[in-house]
Structure 1
Amino acid sequence: MRRRDPPFPPDEQLPVPPRPAGRVLDARLHLLDRQLVDVDEVPVATVDDVELAPPFEGSPDLVATNLLSGPVLATRIFGGRPPRDRWHRVRWAHVTDVGTVLRLGVHGEGLDVLWVERWLRDHVIGRIPGGRHDPE
């Protein structure tokens, strides 16, 4: 065989791989660093990581179980990973649409991912004169 000859005949048909059931997502492309918005189109968080689990024992496919958000800026700059207890989890079952943003089917106020914002609103901003109502 000469070097210019292709290693296979050009008219050979390759086998078609089996297609998995459901929608297949590339986590890096479709999920990571995407904005989460709730039912009222209010931004909730950004997706920093994805928790995966096998759908049942013995299956080679993985299924997203939770979207993770948390304090990852320092770890992205300096390396490493934040501890597991620092991640805020949003259940995959709450996701209704995957697009430019990830839409949730629940209100953001009920999610633990916003506890820092709620705490700041109640303990810091609320103590500033005029901080408990909208500007006029």
Structure 2
Amino acid sequence: MRSVTGRLSLLGNGIVAGKFSKYSVVKIGDIVLNNIHIAESLDSFLNVHAQGDTTIYWNGNWLSGRQIRAIRTPSGDLYYLKRSILFVTFFVIFSILTIPILGFGLLLLPALLADFNYCLAATEFKAQGGIPIPL
């Protein structure tokens, strides 16, 4: 899980697809993130007009792209995307079991491992008093 802290100064063009938005660019501090996804339920907490530093926690891989998973607002509130670790664990095991079938599991495994790592990070967010936001 990567994090970037700074003043949120730019949210580029957004495209809504299902339960996610894809921003062409997000500028936070001196860092520019291109083509980044965020869940619609978490998107409401991105505020360009807020005074102070915002922290964005994100991860990504070649299959699912970059995804914002949690946000710490300038007021100090931490919001994170709620995911079921049982759901992700089941699909990681399923993916490993389907590797012998034409290597199908190899296609899904990177994205699922990123989700599994996020589930572990979500327990840390919960311990820090974060507020879970359902997908």
Fold shared per TM-score above 0.5: no
Question: What's the TM-score once normalised by structure 2's chain length?
Answer: 0.23
Structure with the largest fraction of strand:
2
Please tell me whether Structure 1 or Structure 2 has the larger radius of gyration of its CA atoms.
Answer: 1
Structure with the largest fraction of helix:
2
Question: What's the TM-score once normalised by structure 1's chain length?
Answer: 0.23
